[in-house]
């Protein structure tokens, strides 16, 4: 264990587990926020939520790990933004107790040589939306989160509503695999103009950044539409497509309307229906969602 910048740092599963077991022996609750780093206030709001839940005597652990198994070969793994120094300072300022910073070599030993061969797969909630657009993505997410849970041994783990489908999948996995962990989903942190905070926003040029508000404007337009009564999925999808076409840098990947809990698609969109969309701004793919 190293103490850098006042935050204890662990870099192997064994060292992390040893620390977690000691904290448990001391009767301290462990709150956990898994991230891929390049932290922003959305992440920090999850940290604050975790702190509230474990109390001043509890331990808040943040993991920073850009998990290779959730990226397709064509995606942005190698250029995913990283700034560990800044992340550490943010964590220290927020009173994070411990950072878990594992390497690929300790998370997936022998993966390049084909030795690593165990994955966790959720088979129902992952079929649509992000699972359809990014076929290998959720297998990587469930695998890494299960592994991180086994390293950090948290009592409670906080996820962002920004990744709504991911949170539902993690909740399902936690129940199905009997992890004794409370899963909390915390609200989406947004910029002043409504754009959901995301590490990937750093990729946007000024023009794309301006047009990126088309995601939240789409959700708001759908909210306005259903206020007057139920709307057919096809009609609302057409209206959203038209709105997105007004932003020249934007290209719709998908928009879906579904039950917020079950993620089952609806036939008719009404107040309370959940909406999620993925939009490319240039080469950058952004997602957002909201309850209508
Ligand atoms: P990431 O680093 O993007 O993998 O995200 C790590 C965690 O932070 C996930 O639970 C995300 O859902 C959550 N998160 C990302 N962006 C936001 C945001 N704008 N507001 C709240 N949580 C977020």
For 103-121, the pLDDT digits (tens) are 999 999 999 898 999 999 9
Question: What is the distance of C-alpha 105 from the center of its chain?
Answer: 23
d(CA 144, CA 140): 6
Average pLDDT of the chain, as a whole number: 96
Cβ of residue 46 lying under 6 Å from some atom of ligand 1:
yes
In degrees, rounded to 5, the angle at the alpha carbon of residue 223 between the alpha carbons of residues 222 and 228 is 95
| Residue whose CA lies nearest to ligand 1 atom number 14 | 160
pLDDT at 236: 98
d(CA 217, CA 164): 18
Do residues 239 and 217 make contact, with C-beta atoms less than 8 angstroms apart? no
CA of 59 to the centre of ligand 1 (A): 20
CA of 5 to the centre of ligand 1 (A): 23
Cβ of residue 148 lying under 6 Å from some atom of ligand 1:
no
Contacts of 165-168 with C-beta under 8 Å, sequence gap 24+, read 165/125, 165/126, 165/128, 165/129, 165/130, 165/131, 165/263, 165/276, 165/289, 166/130, 166/138, 166/141, 168/125, 168/261, 168/263
**Ligand 1 atom nearest to CA at 45:** 21
Cβ of residue 165 lying under 6 Å from some atom of ligand 1:
no
> Is the CATH code 3.40.50.300 the one for domain 2-186?
no
Q: Which of 217, 218, 219, 212 is nearest to 197 (CA)?
A: 212
Class of domain 199-291: alpha beta
pTM confidence score: 0.97
**Helical axes 137-152 vs 164-176, angle rounded to 10°:** 60
Cβ of residue 80 lying under 6 Å from some atom of ligand 1:
no
CA of 261 to the centre of ligand 1 (A): 19
pLDDT at 3: 56
CA of 202 to the centre of ligand 1 (A): 14
pLDDT at 175: 98
Q: Where in the chain is the domain with CATH 3.40.50.620?
A: 2-186
Cβ of residue 169 lying under 6 Å from some atom of ligand 1:
no
The tens-digit pLDDT sequence of the chain (292 residues) is 555 557 999 999 999 999 999 999 999 999 999 999 999 999 999 999 999 999 999 999 999 999 999 999 999 999 999 999 999 999 999 999 999 999 999 999 999 898 999 999 999 999 999 999 999 999 999 999 999 999 999 999 999 999 999 999 999 999 999 999 999 999 999 999 999 999 999 999 999 999 999 999 999 999 999 999 999 999 999 999 999 999 999 999 999 999 999 999 999 999 999 999 999 999 999 999 999 9
Cβ of residue 188 lying under 6 Å from some atom of ligand 1:
yes
Annotated catalytic residue 137: no
């Amino acid at each position: 264990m190293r103490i850098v910048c006042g935050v204890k740092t662990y870099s192997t599963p064994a060292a992390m587990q040893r620390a977690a077991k000691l904290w448990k022996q001391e009767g301290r609750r462990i709150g956990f926020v898994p991230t891929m780093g390049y932290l922003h206030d959305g992440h920090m709001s999850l940290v604050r939520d975790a702190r509230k839940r474990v109390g001043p005597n509890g331990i808040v652990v943040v993991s920073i790990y850009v998990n290779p198994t959730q990226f397709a070969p064509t995606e942005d793994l190698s250029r995913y933004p990283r700034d560990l120094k800044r992340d550490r300072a943010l964590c220290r300022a927020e009173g994070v107790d411990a950072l878990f910073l594992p390497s690929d070599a300790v998370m997936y030993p022998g993966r390049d040589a084909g030795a690593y061969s165990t994955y966790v797969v959720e088979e129902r909630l992952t079929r649509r939306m992000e699972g359809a657009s990014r076929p290998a993505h959720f297998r990587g997410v469930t695998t890494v989160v299960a592994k991180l849970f086994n390293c950090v041994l948290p009592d409670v783990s906080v996820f962002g509503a920004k990744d709504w489908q991911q949170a539902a999948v993690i909740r399902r996995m936690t129940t199905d695999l009997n992890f004794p962990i409370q899963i909390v989903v915390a609200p989406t942190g947004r910029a002043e103009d409504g754009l959901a905070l995301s590490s990937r926003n750093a990729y946007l040029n000024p023009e794309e950044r301006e047009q990126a508000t088309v995601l939240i404007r789409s959700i708001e337009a759908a909210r306005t539409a259903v206020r007057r009564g139920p709307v057919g999925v096809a009609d609302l999808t057409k209206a959203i497509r038209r709105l997105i076409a007004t932003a020249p840098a934007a290209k719709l990947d998908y928009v879906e309307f579904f039950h917020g809990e079950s993620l089952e698609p609806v036939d008719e969109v009404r107040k309370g229906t959940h909406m999620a969309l993925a939009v490319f701004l240039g080469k950058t793919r952004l997602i957002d969602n909201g309850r209508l």
